[in-house]
Chains A and B, each alone.
Chain A
Amino acid sequence: MLLESIKFILMGTYVTIAVIAVALPLGFIFGLLLALIHVYGSPLISRLTSIYSTVMRGVPPIVLLFLLFFVIAGSINLSPFLAGSLALGIISSAYQLEIFRGAIQSVSSGQMIAARSIGMSRLKAVLYIILPQALRFAIPPWSNEVSTVIKDSSLVYALGVAEILRRSQFVAARTYKPMLAFSVAALIYFLMTFIANRFLDEVERRTRIPAH
């Protein structure tokens, strides 16, 4: 019975990973694009990205999740899984925007001037000079965001997605042993963040620019 319960909760890991696999790349693409727009765009556009980031970071993820699923997806038929993953991705994009903005801005401004002076276009300078450095700077804060997304993925349980947390609740309700059920969930989440962070540490080490 114990093994069956653990196995049952473990099956939720696939769903959790699927949620993360949608939310994290979505947040990455939007976050990076918005960061570039913020740094290199016109003052008006730059202001708009600031508002986006402020609003999205000012709303609790669970509230945005409910809003997206019950209000926005009222007319478009989004599955709980998709609505939940998209909402998490949108929230994450605001945090990733700030991470990448900081990273881009921490590349010294002389680099851009130097690149332009040897005849590179602005776009080329961003792509070949600024971003390769900025993305390296972004790894430590980004791995923090990865942990957050892994843990926040548990929130989609509120929409009825049978991921790790919801499955633990099923087991807790049936066996009346919540301690066991939630310990299993905690262990799975811990292992996921641990492995992800270890992996990113390794990426950081290997991509480090010598003498930087």
Chain B
Amino acid sequence: MNKKLKFIIVVLFAVLLVAACGPKEPANQLESIKQAGKIVAGTSADYPPFEYVDESGEMVGFDVDLMNEIGKRMGVEMEIVDMPFDSLIAAVQEGKIDISVAAFNYTEERDKTVDFTDAYYYAEDGFLVTEDFAGEINKPEDAANYSVGVQTGSTADGWATENLVDAGLMSDGNLFRYERMDQAALDVKNGRIDVLITDYIPALSLAEGVGGLKVVYHAEVSTGPVNIIVPEGATELTAALNDIIAAMLEDGFIEELSVNHIGQ
């Protein structure tokens, strides 16, 4: 009986030992990406010229080229997945994707749930109005005199909520939040809202694409550095990406992207 018990204990330990020595758990996100030989990046392909789907159904744009180059320089396969902009941060948080490259600006609010790499680009805000807009916007706060549109969850949304609505310059009923920029731009054109605040470069694309619109004012208001989003606490991954970004800025790759996709 005693012998039997001993035997069982020995077997149990042996099983535990084998289990513990099994496939080694990767130590951090960078390790697990390298181990898998693949990095999964999320983007929202409805934001030309940064990320969009072209006529042939290919995902293209500034960020798409950037992601592919990052994969190349990391020596892993880059898998780009699309999801709506508002789902991206949650997807990074829950580990559904490794990183997100979608023209993200830094905000304190976002920083609480995810981490940011160094900036790979600097953006300005553009204030989009109709061509026959008769009002005046000389400083960002002037937008409070008009009905304003922003993209839900964008930095412009945060800025307008805090500095226009909460500051008492305009009522919340005058701030319209849209899921997508092209819907908002059409509402400007149709006269439902007066001003649309979004990144300057996409605003120029919208003005050209929709027609009858112009950017009346642009400055660094809510935007600024554009970064890659990484999971909270993924220090090794962040460091590796920062090295790649620094090298890309250094060797002119990003400048080339900007010329190719943005035209400046």
Contact = CB atoms under 8 A, between A and B. Distances in A.
Contact of B182 (A157, A159, A162, A172): A172
Q: Looking at chain A, what size class is its interface with the partner chain?
A: 20 to 34
A178 interface: yes
A178 B87 contact: no
B186 interface: yes
A178 B182 contact: yes
A194 interface: no
B83 A160 contact: yes
Contact of A173 (B83, B96, B180): B180
B46 interface: yes
Interface string A1-40: 1001100100100000000000000000000000000000
B46 A176 contact: no
Contacts of B90: 66, 70
Interface in A29-70: 66, 69-70
Interface in A70-125: 70-71, 74, 80
A170 B81 contact: no
Interface stretch (B53-61, B117-125, B134-142): B53-61
A157 B186 contact: no
A6 B182 CA distance: 18
Given A159-B83, A176-B210, A169 B48 contact: no
Interface residues of B, number: 32
Contacts of A169: 46, 180
Given A1-B55, A70-B96, A173-B52, A166 B87 contact: no
B206 A176 contact: yes
A63 to B, nearest CB: 13
Contacts of A175: 209
B82 A166 contact: yes
A160 B82 contact: yes
Contacts of B93: 70
B163 to A, nearest CB: 28
Contacts of A206: none
Given A70-B94, A174-B53, A160 B87 contact: yes
A70 B91 CA distance: 7
A172 B53 CA distance: 10
B183 A178 contact: yes
Contacts of A166: 82, 84
Nearest to B185: A176
A173 B55 contact: no
Contacts of B45: 170, 173
B71 to A, nearest CB: 19
A203 interface: no
A158 interface: yes
B83 A80 contact: yes
B55 A160 contact: no
Given A159-B87, A178-B186, A173 B94 contact: no
Interface of B: 42, 45-48, 52-57, 81-84, 87, 90-91, 93-96, 180-183, 185-186, 206, 209-211
Given A71-B94, A178-B183, 17 more contacts: A4-B55, A5-B55, A8-B53, A11-B57, A70-B93, A80-B96, A159-B87, A162-B82, A166-B82, A169-B180, A170-B53, A171-B53, A172-B182, A173-B48, A174-B53, A175-B209, A176-B182
